């Protein structure tokens, strides 16, 4: 059962990060540029692909969808190992998808984000990996 707790703890970190990110997307100014002129331009300028939106609206949408994916991962990967460990640990597909997603987030976090989410994602990946080691050792 310790294996399930490690996996769920890692998923819970992603759930919390995703939830905070969603909150900050719509409340306050934590995800806004410090330069007000830049924000103004983002609200006015459309992307090359379409004139039906602006860079700002895309920014909000990308942040919200990014958050929802973290929340979904956190809910599924916290629930399955705890409620249905046999299904989770019996599925190389589910294990591999979780590991691949966390590895991808670690890479993105290292390249593009700041220290708090990066460290959280690394901790989540370590806990996830530890759960796998405990289970399969």
pLDDT digits (tens, 9 = 90+) for 24-40: 999 999 999 999 999 99
Split at pLDDT 50, 70, 90, the class of 53 is very high
Please state the rounded mean pLDDT for residues 7-22: 98
Tell me what pLDDT residue 28 has.
96
Task: Tell me the torsion sign for CA atoms 51, 56, 57, 61.
Answer: positive
Question: Counting every residue, how long is the chain?
Answer: 137
Residues 68 and 27: their CA atoms lie apart, in Å, by: 16
Residue-range definition of the domain harbouring residue 28:
2-136
What's the number of domains the chain is made of? 1
Tell me what pLDDT residue 124 has.
98
Please state the rounded mean pLDDT for residues 72-82: 98
Tally of helices (H runs) and strands (E runs) in the chain: 6, 0
């Amino acid at each position: 059962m310790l294996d399930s707790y490690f996996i769920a703890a890692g998923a819970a970190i992603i759930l919390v990060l995703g939830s905070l990110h969603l909150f900050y997307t719509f409340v306050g100014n934590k995800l806004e540029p410090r330069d007000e002129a830049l924000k103004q331009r983002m609200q006015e300028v459309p992307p090359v692909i379409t004139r039906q939106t602006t860079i700002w609206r895309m920014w909000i949408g990308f942040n919200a969808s990014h958050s929802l994916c973290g929340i979904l991962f956190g809910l599924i990967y916290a629930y399955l190992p705890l409620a249905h460990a046999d299904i989770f640990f019996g599925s190389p597909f589910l294990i591999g998808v979780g590991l691949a997603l966390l590895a991808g987030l670690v890479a993105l976090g290292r390249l593009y984000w700041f220290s708090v989410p990066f460290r959280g994602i690394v901790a989540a990946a370590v806990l996830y990996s530890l759960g796998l080691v405990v289970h399969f050792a």
